[in-house]
Amino acid sequence: MKRNKILIDHTLIIDELERSIKFYNWNSILSFLPKGSYLVGGYIRDIILKRITEKVDVDIVVPFNAIKIGKMISENINSKFIILDKEREVVRIILNHISIDIANQISSTIEGDLSSRDFSINSIAFLFDKKLLFDPFNGLKDLQCSLLKTYSEINLLNDPLRILRCFRFVSELNFKIDLKLVDFIKKNKGKLYLVAEERINYEINKIVNGENALEAVILVKKFNIFGSDNFYKNSFFLDLQKINYTELNKNEKKNFLPLFLIAQILDEVSLEQYKFSKNEIAKTKLLRKWHFLLEKKNIAQLTESDRFALHKELEMFFPSFICYLPQNLRLDWLNRWRDKDDKLFHPSNLLNGDVIKKNLKINDGPILGELLQYLSSELAYKRLNNFDEAIYKAKRWIEQNAPKCD
């Protein structure tokens, strides 16, 4: 990912923050905030990085009464209001694509509050009333160096999901991980079992969908985040550093690489454990099935039936499978898949079941399914050109394959 030149001057950062606040028309929100309230976290980080995101996530800290303040703001701007943590007073306001979290300050000082956050790059505050940028842990310097550091490892242990979040920032921001943080991750990765599976699922999806997802997934594998030291020796897991993804266009990378990358860090048991959908698990099983088959049998040795079955089963997510093919076939097969009229890569039929039942007087059942499969295969291999030929071949197939009654 190409890095833009980031904002480093405090005055420029504050100007940009105020422009952004004006753009989103936050005046009605700011008027409800008590003195001493401040903006913190990813919103400031993204402003400094000149990073544009579809969804706007805002974190505001108030000295007291976060629930009461959040409810008043929500009623004033007619937005959705959610209490995330009643005891600690953390609330969320959702308005269109903007999500605003408001929480009580937990320390007697702002610096004390910031010291409890996960990484230095998220520990920069903007004090609304003083129009001041406050950066006690050199987060701005780490942003300049594209470096992920933590003020306190205890902060990460308080919520072990933050261990996984390191790889999300590698993926989304193209950051490096501080060496001390690397050692910490290796020693404490096992504590991820304490985290709710749904939260881990969310972070994994963030990791595999970032612009720098490949490098992040390579690190996840390198540190064996989700398995033992022997976990990735399974033949299904590929050496990602040797794979060239240039055949895939931008949309194909966005839509199909995440599934491939997920399948490179989790086995089927882990996919179920971390609450991945049945559809994602089913697709991974098909990727494995055809990968193992091609390990045993050269592609040139596949029968027509094998090839047809491969394309029928993988049609909807074929680019996720492209990396398992020999390099010399990838572009040709991908171009054929891109051609929606290629009947082998996009199996279809000239006849549907209702037409066959009407014209050939057969009923629903296995025979009808096998016939449709046969006609689709004939069309894929260009041995069928029109409706009349399809009816003729269907009659011949029924004569040869339908059960005979004595």
pLDDT over 60 at 1, yes or no:
no
Single-letter code of the amino acid located at 5: K
Q: For 207-237, give the DSSP string.
A: HHHSTTHHHHHHHHHHTTTTS-TTGGGSTTS
Q: State pLDDT tens for residues 154-199.
A: 999 999 999 999 999 999 999 999 999 999 999 999 999 999 999 9
Tell me the chain's radius of gyration from C-alpha atoms. 28
pLDDT over 80 at 4, yes or no:
no
- Kindly state the average pLDDT of the residues 60-88: 94
pLDDT over 70 at 406, yes or no:
no
220: left (phi over 0), alpha (psi -120 to 50) or beta: alpha
How much of the chain exceeds pLDDT 70, in percent? 97
- Mean residue pLDDT across the chain: 92
Which of 151, 98, 158, 156 is CA-nearest to residue 121?
Answer: 151
Q: State pLDDT tens for residues 92-108.
A: 999 888 899 999 999 99
Task: Report yes or no: 262 and 221 within 8 Å, Cβ to Cβ.
Answer: no
Task: Report yes or no: 261 and 335 within 8 Å, Cβ to Cβ.
Answer: no
Q: What gap in Å lies between CA 50 and CA 323, rounded to an integer?
A: 33
Task: Report yes or no: 262 and 284 within 8 Å, Cβ to Cβ.
Answer: yes
Q: What gap in Å lies between CA 304 and CA 311, rounded to an integer?
A: 11
pLDDT class of 238 with cuts at 50, 70, 90:
confident
- Kindly state the average pLDDT of the residues 124-142: 95
Strand-pair partners of 125: 40, 134
pLDDT at 404: 61
- All domains of the chain in start order, with CATH: 10-144 (3.30.460.10), 149-229 (1.10.110.30), 353-401 (no CATH)
Q: What gap in Å lies between CA 393 and CA 370, rounded to an integer?
A: 13
Q: What gap in Å lies between CA 174 and CA 2, rounded to an integer?
A: 9
DSSP strand pairing (56-62 vs 98-104): parallel
Q: State pLDDT tens for residues 209-234.
A: 999 999 999 999 999 999 776 777 77
pLDDT over 90 at 24, yes or no:
no
Q: State pLDDT tens for residues 315-374.
A: 999 999 999 999 899 999 999 999 999 999 999 999 888 888 888 878 888 888 999 999
